[in-house]
Amino acid sequence: MLHSRWFKTAGAAAALTLATATAAYATPAPTTAPDRTAAAVTLRYDDSRAAGWEAAIAAGVANWNASVSNVRLVEAAPGTRAEIRIIATTGWPQATLGPVRPGGTARVELGSQAVAEGHDKTRIAAHELGHSLGLPDTKPGPCSQLMSGSTGGTTCKNATPNATERSRVQSLYAGGSASLVPADGRVLVDAP
């Protein structure tokens, strides 16, 4: 009887020790899926001075936000600071070459002269935002390249970055805002 009691006690102690040791080294299961957008750099834009371009800007922003995951373009609330200031002008479209950092400044001018010559407003807006995100022109180039700008022709309606353009922006913003070099500051005029 004494032996059987000793075996029961020893067995219970061993089971408890094993359970405790296993729990100490076990990795708890994640309770939620990882947030892939947590590291995304957020850039605010102000289009309050771009009357007549609102729909094109919204579509261009949506195209970029759907195409890249580590930088997000969001409309600035009225009265708040925006990194990208968008205005309507009568000349040719132009923009500051980025990549713009949070707290930095870039200017996008959406020129009506290009529209008067037959170029698509959404393509213009997405193209100029591409400059703010750090992409230079790829002129001359085909319509399939958003950054080919006016050399895509007046029949070109493509307002979505291609794989190379998406990859370049992903690379520029890969380390978050701390890894960004200051924006170039050059203004790129998109006249043919």
Question: Which residue's structure tokens are 């995304």?
Answer: 40
**Residue 118 phi/psi, 5° resolution?**
105, 5
In what side-by-side order are the strands of the sheet with 187-189? 71-75, 41-49, 84-89, 106-111, 94-96, 187-189
* Candidates 83, 109, 128, 165; catalytic one: 128
Instruction: Provide the β-strand partners of residue 96.
Output: 187
DSSP 16-58: HHHHHHHHHHPPPPPSS---TTTTPEEEEEEEEE-TT-HHHHH
Q: How far apart are CA 146 and CA 152, in angstroms?
A: 8
Can 128 be counted among the known catalytic residues? yes
Instruction: Provide the β-strand partners of residue 94.
Output: 109, 189
Return the active site residues: 128
